[in-house]
Structure 1
Amino acid sequence: MTPRRATPSDIPAIVALTQAAYLPNEAIIGVPSLPRIADYHEVLAEHEVWLVDGASGLDAVLVLQAEPSDFILWSIAVSPEAAGRKLGAGLMAFAEERARALGYDSVHLYTHARLTRRIGWYERLGYTITHHEDLPDRRLTHMRKIFSKAG
């Protein structure tokens, strides 16, 4: 798996994959997923968007947000057709490598508090819950993975 940077011509495929990947979560959380309703012209202009291509189209999308004081994994989505191939874990490792390469000592992410299976997966990858954030229409669980000095 070698991610490539997205270009504006990739936006229709990104939107389609994000719709397919995030829509099932909405039955659990009861509100639209933030990455599903985002304007990807803005996302592409403001964030790093990485893609994994497959034999029949786009397999995965990773959106990273590098702020002066924080490296944020803004979104990760794998096509339902590509599920089970460990692309998500590969992209998580890629995000951590990217953060280190840019000089960050951790990766921050957030997800809806009701997505307990997702939270458990992040925990198995070494992320810990830092806090919860209540918004008018949702509760977010914020998580962080701090890199060890040796790694």
Structure 2
Amino acid sequence: MTVIVYGRSMVTIRPAEPADVDRARRLAHDAYRHYTERIGRPPAPMEADYAAVVDAGTMWVAEDDGRMVGFIVLLDTDDHLLLDNVAVDPLAQGRGVGARLLALAEEQAVARGHDRIELYTNEAMTENLDYYPRKGYVETRRAEQDGYRRVFFAKSLEGRSS
């Protein structure tokens, strides 16, 4: 478990449990719904199968006083860790929760023997196109995938050891 302290508030990060599924769905809806109009349909994270994600053991949640304020989904591939989804409750944004979840991804990647993290975002999520480069991610390509116009990023972790 990881603890982040903000003034009098403590955010903890832990592996997701079955009881988190409904909260994750609601958080994804709240975090992504404003993109629906830009994209022309609900973003993929709003339609994800969170029960399957939790069952697979690939999700971690960030909580503040028992309230889910964010989550991250990490998937192993043959040659990198895929950051499949990261979401922060709009009411908790700007408090470093997203940055801490990205740091967890790096820790997990190194611990699992990966030297690279990859992720993608929707082209219409312009805030992310600025955010990820500030966190060390480099745009690698743009393509249509699953009916979405996506921008792919990667971050090298070479030289980091577990």
Partner of 2:30: 20
Alignment root-mean-square deviation, CA: 1.6
How do 1:2-151 residues align onto structure 2 when only pairs under 5 Å count?
A: 2-46=12-56, 48-55=58-65, 57-135=67-145, 137-149=147-159
Distance, in Å, in 2 between the alignment partners of 1:69 and 1:136 is: 22
Q: Deviations over 1:87-129 (max 9, x none)?
A: 1111111111110111100100000112222111001111011
4+ long deviations beyond 2 Å: none
Distance, in Å, in 2 between the alignment partners of 1:7 and 1:20 is: 20
Q: Is the 8 A contact 2:72 2:85 kept in 1?
A: yes
Counterpart of 1:17, as a letter, is L
With structure 2 as the length reference, what TM-score do the two structures score? 0.86
Q: Is the 8 A contact 1:47 1:66 kept in 2?
A: no
- Which residues of structure 1 form unaligned runs of 5+? none
Distance, in Å, in 2 between the alignment partners of 1:43 and 1:61 is: 11
Distance, in Å, in 2 between the alignment partners of 1:71 and 1:150 is: 14
Cα distance, 1:32 vs structure 2: 1.3
Residue 85 of structure 1 aligns to a residue in which SS? coil
Distance, in Å, in 1 between the alignment partners of 2:41 and 2:145 is: 12
Aligned length: 151
- Which residues of structure 2 form unaligned runs of 5+? 5-11
Q: Is the 8 A contact 2:18 2:55 kept in 1?
A: no
